[in-house]
Every structure is written in C-alpha cells, then in structure tokens.
Amino acid sequence: MGPGGSQEAAFGLRASVPAGSYHVVCDAIIAVPVDVGFTLIWRRGATDMQLAHWTQHWDPVPEGGFDAQAYEIDVAAPAIDYAPGDQLVFRYDGTTGGNNIQAFIPNGDGARASGRIPSITLPP
C-alpha cells in the first residue's frame, strides 16, 4: 500500500463489546519510509462510526530484505452496542511512501517472515 491507498478487513460481530483497550498486532514488511494511519470502525449497515484512529511511521530495516518489523499497540475505544449485521472494521492507509509501490505490507506470513500474523484482541 502506497500513499493515498487504503485497505480494510471487516469482521462480523456476534455480541456487544465493552469500552476499553483493543490490543492490535500488525507486524509489517516495510519497503520504503512510510507513514500509516490506522482506524478501528464500527460498521452498521451503510454507517461507519470511528472507534479509534492513530498513525505510525516506519523506516525499512537497514539490511533490506523482507523480514517483518514488530508492531503492537493498545488503543482505547468506546463500547459497541451490538445489533445483527454489525461489523468491526480494521482500516489502514498510507500517507507517504512513494507512488505505486507496496510501502507497508502487513505480515501475512507470520514466523516465516520473522513476525506475527496481524490480530486484534477485543476488550474483556
């Protein structure tokens, strides 16, 4: 994902979620220096409610290669009052990083790329 691009993953909710801390793991392979915005969204039908938003800057590892860089964060978010069909959406978008290249690549290879598979742990 380069500048101006965004990706999102939507997950069907099964119950309400209390207000609290979401633990986000998003190890990634970094091709060039990049700033990435992350957003947690509660989607109900065609309506999106932003739960949390933050940004992070990365530089590629000096040796090059395709090893993932570790990244995890706890972010506070309000409660979700569940209704059937609701989704939790994880969106990330590039704000820098050169045109038309994959500057930020979430680590879908897990340990094979020296990292962890992206995940979100909901508040207890």
pTM of the model: 0.87
Distance CA 50, CA 78 (A): 10
The pLDDT assigned to 70 comes to: 92
| CATH T-level assignment (fold) for domain 6-121 | Jelly Rolls (2.60.120)
pLDDT, tens digit only, all 124 positions of the chain: 555 568 899 999 999 999 999 999 999 988 888 899 999 999 999 999 999 999 999 888 877 567 889 999 999 999 999 999 999 999 998 877 555 457 888 887 778 878 899 999 999 9
Token pair belonging to 43: 């989607």
Place of tokens 């992070």: 56
Separation in Å, CA 57 to CA 14, 103, 104: 33, 11, 10
The pLDDT assigned to 100 comes to: 46
Q: Are 69 and 29 in contact (CB under 8 A)?
A: yes
Annotated domain spans of the chain: 6-121
The region that residue 114 occupies, defined by phi over 0 for left and psi between -120 and 50 for alpha, beta otherwise, is left
